Amino acid sequence: MSELCPCGSGRDYAACCGPVIAGKAKAPTAESLMRSRYSAYVKGDIDHILRSCVQNDDMDREATENWSREADWKSLRILRTEKGGASDTEGVVEFVAEYVMDGLKDEHRETARFVKKDGTWLYDSGDVKTATVVRATPKVGRNEPCPCGSGKKYKQCCGK
């Protein structure tokens, strides 16, 4: 049974990001490395995320694992690319990764810089833009029925 790749390419995972994440293939472009890194967050493959960085000694593995595991990853949108082709040695990919965490809909918007070293694309650095966090579900009013189904008002039940 085939599985669509989380990166949003519309391709099968085994023919898209899967081989790159598994280390069986190199990402041919900066964008394909970006897509594989997003898919690695979705799949919880932190080793690929660390392995695909120019420098990873300042990364907090535990925090990265927690974010990967606790987020409900929704989508990846590539906004633009600059260079980063098969014959380039550097590239830029601007993207938005949407996710829900702790009941809040959020997005990670970044302009990421990539470099190619010894024929391998690597994430170099990025500029993150913060976004407005939006509730994933409507806020429950104090006097509304509690969503847990107890029949009590929210303020007298889970809203204490």
Confirm whether 91 is domain-assigned.
yes
Average the pLDDT over 8-20 and give the result.
Answer: 97
**Tell me, what CATH number does 55's domain have?**
3.10.450.50
pLDDT at residue 73 in the model = 97
Confirm whether 156 is domain-assigned.
no
pLDDT at residue 134 in the model = 63
Residue range of the domain that includes 53: 13-129
pLDDT at residue 131 in the model = 65
Confirm whether 7 is domain-assigned.
no
Average the pLDDT over 43-70 and give the result.
Answer: 93
Confirm whether 36 is domain-assigned.
yes
| Helices and strands per DSSP (H, E), number in the chain | 4, 5
Confirm whether 55 is domain-assigned.
yes
Between 61-65, 69-73, 114-118, 145-149, the lowest mean confidence (pLDDT) is in 145-149
Q: Which amino acid is at 160?
A: K
Contact status, residue 94 vs residue 110, Cβ threshold 8 Å: yes
Q: How far apart are CA 9 and CA 7, in angstroms?
A: 6
Average the pLDDT over 22-34 and give the result.
Answer: 97
Q: What is the pTM of this model?
A: 0.81
Average the pLDDT over 75-101 and give the result.
Answer: 96
Confirm whether 141 is domain-assigned.
no
Which residue, among 59, 62, 65, has the nearest Cα to 46 in the 3D structure? 65
Q: Which amino acid is at 21?
A: I
Q: How far apart are CA 76 and CA 98, in angstroms?
A: 6
Q: How far apart are CA 37 and CA 73, in angstroms?
A: 13
Confirm whether 151 is domain-assigned.
no
Q: How far apart are CA 43 and CA 140, in angstroms?
A: 32
pLDDT averaged over every residue in the chain:
91
At residue 132, does pLDDT exceed 80?
Answer: no
DSSP structural state of residue 72: E
- Bridge partner residues of 4 (DSSP): 12
Confirm whether 2 is domain-assigned.
no
Q: How far apart are CA 105 and CA 102, in angstroms?
A: 8
pLDDT at residue 135 in the model = 63
| Tally of structural domains, the chain | 1
